[in-house]
């Protein structure tokens, strides 16, 4: 099954930028936007990675992406999640909640960001 990356709780302009970053990291991945908890639950089994906004846009029972990551990380067979935030304290909280190392929007064009996406998906640098 091809990789499927979900952009969770992002507005349109941010989704466009993140889609570009995700497809640079994993060129054959399908990238989808998810802006509700119901969409996320129904797509969950097909997803390879979640790129979660710090402040969720859409219809979620959580205010923050950190809270959503905390819920997701307790789910068996959950896909890995990465928090999108420029704030180091938010990144620390997300890691404590179960996220893989994340990045901020100011780092979208960084090689480190591409590597973090690949690593979260279990793709080694030699294959990506």
pLDDT at 31 over 50: yes
Q: 6: which strand partners?
A: 32, 50
3-state secondary structure of 58: coil
* Topology (CATH) of 4-120: Rossmann fold (3.40.50)
- Tell me the average pLDDT of the chain: 95
pLDDT at 120 over 70: yes
Contact 121, 3 (CB under 8 A): yes
Give the chain's length.
128
If phi > 0 it is left, if psi is from -120 to 50 it is alpha, else beta; for residue 48 that is alpha
Residue labelled with tokens 């404590």: 96
Mean predicted confidence (pLDDT) in 34-47: 95
Give pLDDT tens digits for 65-113. 999 999 999 998 899 999 999 999 999 999 999 999 999 999 999 999 9
Cα–Cα distance measured from residue 100 to residue 112, given in angstroms and rounded to the nearest whole number: 13
pLDDT at 23 over 70: yes
Q: What is residue 58's predicted lDDT score, i.e. its pLDDT? A: 95
């Amino acid at each position: 099954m091809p990789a499927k990356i979900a952009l969770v709780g992002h507005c349109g302009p941010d989704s466009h930028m993140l889609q570009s970053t995700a497809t640079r990291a994993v060129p054959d991945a399908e990238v989808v936007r998810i802006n509700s908890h119901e969409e996320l639950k129904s797509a969950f089994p097909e997803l390879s990675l979640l790129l979660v906004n710090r402040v969720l846009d859409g219809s979620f029972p959580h205010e923050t992406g950190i809270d959503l990551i905390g819920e997701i990380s307790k789910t068996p067979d959950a896909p890995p999640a990465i928090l999108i935030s420029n704030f180091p304290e938010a990144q620390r909280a997300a890691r404590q909640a179960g996220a893989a190392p994340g990045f901020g929007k100011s780092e979208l064009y960084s090689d480190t960001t591409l590597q973090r996406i690949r690593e979260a998906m279990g793709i080694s640098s030699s294959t990506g």
